[in-house]
């Protein structure tokens, strides 16, 4: 089961079926509700939830009615009013009014956050686009995650760090793994031969808790 989001939680029944329930425990389903299979992003955002059946993706509303029919070869949950969707072998973006706002053209695409989204247009490196689809931060990263609290985790030379929305490095790119910022802090990891150290940094890159075992 997942935590509640928009008054809905994603649960597995005793019959091993996936369903949404409201806060009273009532299963939310209609005659038109599609069959659900497990997916990585089942939470409601913008009043919509990503669903999939046999590898085909779409979206339902809070009453579990189909909002965008199952039609995409892959898709992500809505974030900042937009969702990444895959048609054939390319990713683009739709808004929560069902409009295609950025045509499918990317090899890979992530969620919007702070008005930017990580994408891979060609080759093996990632950059960021703005909400109009223009390149905001050039492709240069081995991996890139969505923005949160004005910072995004990026990977260079097999190490992780954070950039701001202008593409400036805001923490040293020296960590073996990181988690996204939440409430102004991010968890960072340094791996040793026999130990794993974890600490916290603020948005300026200053340690507020030095890495410890």
Rg of the chain taking only CA atoms, in angstroms:
19
Give the predicted TM-score (pTM) of the model: 0.88
Confidence tier at 198 by pLDDT (50, 70, 90): very high
Is residue 184 very low, low, confident or very high in pLDDT (cuts 50, 70, 90)? very high
- Domain spanning 1-78: CATH 2.10.260: no
**pLDDT tens, 6-64?**
889 888 887 777 888 999 999 998 888 877 777 777 788 888 999 988 899 999 999 99
Alpha-carbon separation of residue 133 from 95, 141, 142, 150, 202 (angstroms): 13, 18, 20, 19, 30
Are 203 and 189 within 8 A, CB to CB?
no
The β-bridge partners of 168 are none
């Amino acid at each position: 089961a997942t935590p509640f989001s928009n008054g809905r939680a994603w649960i597995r029944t005793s019959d091993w079926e996936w369903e949404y329930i409201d806060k009273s425990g009532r299963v939310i389903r209609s005659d038109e509700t599609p069959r659900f299979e497990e997916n990585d992003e089942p939470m409601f955002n913008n009043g919509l939830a990503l669903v999939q059946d046999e590898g085909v993706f779409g979206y339902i509303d809070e009453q579990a009615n189909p909002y965008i029919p199952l039609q995409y070869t892959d898709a992500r949950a809505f974030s900042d009013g937009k969702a990444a969707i895959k048609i054939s072998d390319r990713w683009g973006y739709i808004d929560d009014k069902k409009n295609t706002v950025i045509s499918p053209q990317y090899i890979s695409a992530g969620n919007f956050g702070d008005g930017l989204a990580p994408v891979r247009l060609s080759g093996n490196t990632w950059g960021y686009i703005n909400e109009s689809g223009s390149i905001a931060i050039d492709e240069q990263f081995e991996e890139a995650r969505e923005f949160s609290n004005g910072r995004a985790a990026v990977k260079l030379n097999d190490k992780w760090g954070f950039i701001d929305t202008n593409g400036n490095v805001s923490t040293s790119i020296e960590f073996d793994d990181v988690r996204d910022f939440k409430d102004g802090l991010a968890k960072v990891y340094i791996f040793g031969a026999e130990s794993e150290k974890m600490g916290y940094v603020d948005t300026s890159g200053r340690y507020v808790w030095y890495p410890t075992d």
